[in-house]
Amino acid sequence: METLYAITVGTLTACSVFLILRGRSFPIVIGLTMLSYAVNLFLFSTGRLIVNELPIVGASDNTTDPLPQALVLTAIVIGFAMTAYSIILAVRVRGEIGSDEVNDYNYAEQDGQR
Amino acid sequence: MLTKHLITLPIVIPMLAALLQLLPWGERAQYYRRIIGIVASSLTLIVAIMLVITVHTEIVVYALGSWQAPFGIVLVADKLSALMVLLTAVLALPVLIYACHGEDNLGSHFQALFQFQVLGIMGAFLTGDLFNLFVFFEILLISSYALLMHGGGKAKLRATLHYVVLNLTGSALFLISLGVLYGITGTLNMADMAGKVALLQGDDAAIARAGGMILFIVFALKSALLPLYFWLPQAYANTTGTVAALFAIMTKVGIYAIVRVFTLIFGADAGEVAFLGYGWLWWLGLLTILIGALGVLGSRDIRQVVAYLVLVSVGTMLTTLSLGHNDAISALLFYLVHSTLVTGALFLLVDMIAEQRGKTASRIVKGRKMAQHQLLGGLFFLAAITVIGIPPLSGFISKLFILEAARTGAQVAWLWPLILGATFLMMIALSRAGSRMFWHTLEGKPNDVSHPYWQHMAVVLLLLGAVALTVFAQAFSGFTSAIAEQLANPQGYISQVLDGGQHE
């Protein structure tokens, strides 16, 4: 299970890094979303992967750690808000500048006449 | 009761103020919001002063919800936190006074966002828990995303997009490093982690090193260390003056986090992971000074000049930190306070200059005379000599402390030429900018845009801070050495957090 889990997190991270390095805002937002999934999964695994156990000390021999679950919950909430914000921002940039290029070279030339 | 809960007030007051400001206030909404904002910022300043007085004798630990330390989240105020809280409050009040004269009308909810930003910064300084630090970082980042766009415009939008994407990636890295450190030590409390990390050996220590270095990258991104600084000049130069002035403290949040984590958790007592990252800090810091100075020299826009000045100060501070001994940390803190106040003042000043010049705005070219030419020129001169480090004001003293802190031959050989060279380049750039904008003006009558004296007052207040630093340099450097002393001996902090928090 650990191997499968690690491969999943690794693949997600690799894909997200690839997408974030694109030059357009839409792939970047998708990449950021995937990165936050990967991070959430990774955080979840820091309490060690234990199946079918309660997060209560003394309830069984092998309890699972409740703290990473709480951390993931917080991270999901924050990540969700951030994703929403970055989507709105990307849409506004597309609307106002007329291009979703993150570094618009035509724009850079007009920089002096701002 | 007040003294017991004093430490929560710098967080609670801005939060309540922001929530109040979000209420619909009827027709004169902005008027009431301004009053709430000014009152809240003044209260925060008073609380911050009280906090500094309190921590003079003890480290204040506050267990939130009365959950004791390694399990619950604690707020901790030692001398360093208290100083940073005070600095934030001292910066925030004049900046808010400045903003209340029109700039807060450029976009909606400026006042509330300002308070939320202060809330995040204060929280980051006061928390004793790494995950909580992440949460406060996010609070200050969310408000900074919105503030950066304040006023709108294409240039701001693009700068904000870069800033947001970079910081979202930074947040993801922050979480990864927290996961690594939690997985290996089983705790997120900084004091507890410091004890646990010291016991690690072999492979576990290697993983902890990896986690620590990722954390270092995150903080380096926030503080704009060399390879991660590209967002800063663009973001600071394009946003409005007030926001940029408030952001003068933002890079310092990153530096505070580096100082805190890398003296407490990865400090001298950390066993196999001791002094993690210090070698990197030295070289990257030196290169940051160099790049910053070249940027100052190469900028054609006065806002950009100030933004690169921030970069030089970041480089100077982190290089000084990597020297490691007490005098260096003391010098670093002295310089930190000086540079925050002066850069804040410069950003506000440059904003006024740009508005009064009209069409030529902040570009360093020949332009029309300004309405308040003499006054702005005088203030610019004062701020410029302070930030460059020409005697007599605080820039000179703080640089002197830093130069003194270099001990070995190699340190002197690298640090002195770079800092003095950067000072020289800054002097050239600022005198060129000043003479172009204030002396080489076009003939004819001056522009008629002028600013109310309250706005000049805000700049003067910040510069008075620099004057006060000069006059009370002896007393203040005594305080910063006490901070350095406390940072060098983290046992007091650790035992106070782990044992002292129980009584709440």
B365 lies within 8 A of chain A by CB = no
Residue B102, by phi and psi: left (phi above 0), alpha (psi -120 to 50) or beta? left
Centre a 10 Å sphere on the Cβ of residue A81 and count the other Cβ atoms it contains: 12
- Mean pLDDT (chain B, rounded): 90
**CB neighbours of B136 closer than 8 A, spacing ≥ 6?**
B120, B121, B123, B124, B127
Residue B427 domain flag: yes
- Tell me the residue range of the domain where A95 lies: 2-49+64-101
| Residue B82 resides in a domain | no
- Residue A6: give its domain's CATH number: 1.10.287.3510
Note down the domain range covering B385.
277-471
B169 touches chain A (CB under 8 A): yes
Helix (H) or strand (E) holding B376: helix B373-388
B172: nearest CB among A35, A89, A107: A35
- C-beta pairs of B485-492 under 8 Å, 24+ apart in sequence: B485/B326, B486/B59, B486/B78, B486/B79, B486/B80, B487/B80, B487/B259, B487/B263, B487/B264, B487/B267, B487/B329, B488/B263, B488/B267, B488/B268, B488/B326, B488/B329, B490/B191, B490/B194, B490/B263, B490/B264, B490/B267, B490/B269, B491/B269, B492/B59
pLDDT of the residue at A95: 86
Residue B248 domain flag: no
Two tokens, residue B328: 């260096």
Within-domain flag for A85? yes
Q: Residue B397: which H helix or E strand, with range?
A: helix B394-405
| Centroid of chain to Cα B400 | 21
- Cα dihedral A66, A67, A68, A73, rounded to 10, equals 90
Per-residue pLDDT at A113: 44
Q: Does residue B77 lie within any of the structural domains? A: no
Specify the pLDDT at position B118. 95
Q: Which residues of B touch A107 (CB under 8 A)?
A: 154, 158
pTM of the predicted protein model: 0.93
Q: With cut-offs at 50, 70 and 90, classify the pLDDT of residue A112.
A: very low
pLDDT of residue A114: 41
Q: Torsion angle of alpha carbons B282, B287, B288, B291, nearest 10°?
A: 170
Assess if residue B56 is contained within a domain: no
Number of domains in chain A: 1
Q: Which two tokens stand for residue B153?
A: 């415009």
Amino acid A105: pLDDT: 57
Tokens 């004798």 belong to residue: B57
Q: Check A86 against B168: CB less than 8 A apart.
A: yes
B111-159 pLDDT, tens digit per residue, is: 999 999 999 999 999 999 999 999 999 999 999 999 998 887 888 888 8
Query: What's residue B441's pLDDT?
Result: 83
Domain assignment present for residue A95? The answer is yes
What CA–CA distance (Å, rounded) separates B339 from B318?
A: 13
**Which stretch of DSSP H or E encloses residue B227?**
none
**Tens of pLDDT along B35-82?**
999 999 999 999 999 999 999 888 889 988 888 878 889 999 999 999
Residues of chain B below pLDDT 70 = 1, 500-504
pLDDT at res. B348: 94
Distance CA B282, CA A17 (A): 29
Could you give the ipTM of this predicted complex? 0.91
From the list B161, B169, B182, the residue facing A102 with the nearest CB is B161
Question: In chain B, what residues touch A81 (CB-CB under 8 Å)?
Answer: 142
CA gap B336, B469 in Å, rounded: 11
Q: Look at A20 and B165 and tell me if their CB atoms are within 8 Å.
A: yes
Q: Is the pLDDT of residue A104 over 80?
A: no
- Are A78 and B179 an interchain contact pair (Cβ–Cβ within 8 Å)? no
Residues of A with CB below 8 A from B172's CB? Answer: 32, 35-36, 38-39
**Which residues 108-137 of B have a C-beta within 8 angstroms of A?**
131, 135
- State the number of CA atoms in the 13 A half-sphere of B365 facing the CB: 9
Taking CB atoms and an 8 Å limit, are B158 and A93 in contact across chains?
Answer: yes
The answer to whether the Cβ–Cβ distance between A20 and B169 falls below 8 Å is yes
Residues 32-71 of A with CB under 8 A from B: 32, 35-36, 38-39, 42-43, 45-48, 67-68, 71
Number of domains present in the structure of chain B: 1
Q: Is B24 left (phi over 0), alpha (psi -120 to 50) or beta?
A: beta
Angle between helical axes of B154-185 and B130-148 (0-180°, round to 10): 170
Residue B483 falls inside a structural domain: no
Tell me the pLDDT tens digit for each residue of A43-92: 999 888 888 888 888 877 888 888 898 999 999 999 888 889 999 988 98
Residue B215 lies in a domain: no
Contact A43 B175 (CB under 8 A): yes
CA distance B14 to B37: 8
Q: Backbone phi, then psi, for B63, in 5-degree steps? A: -85, 115
Task: Check CB contact under 8 Å for B142 and A85.
Answer: yes
Residue A109 pLDDT more than 80?
A: no
**Chain B residues lying within 8 Å of A9, measured CB to CB:** none
Instruction: Give the tens place of pLDDT for each residue, B84-98.
Output: 999 999 999 999 999
Residue B399 lies in a domain: yes
pLDDT at A107 over 80: no
Query: What does the pLDDT read at residue B504?
Result: 42
Model confidence band, residue A106 (pLDDT cutoffs 50, 70, 90):
low
Residues of A in contact with B149 (CB under 8 A): 89
pLDDT at residue A108 greater than cutoff 80 = no
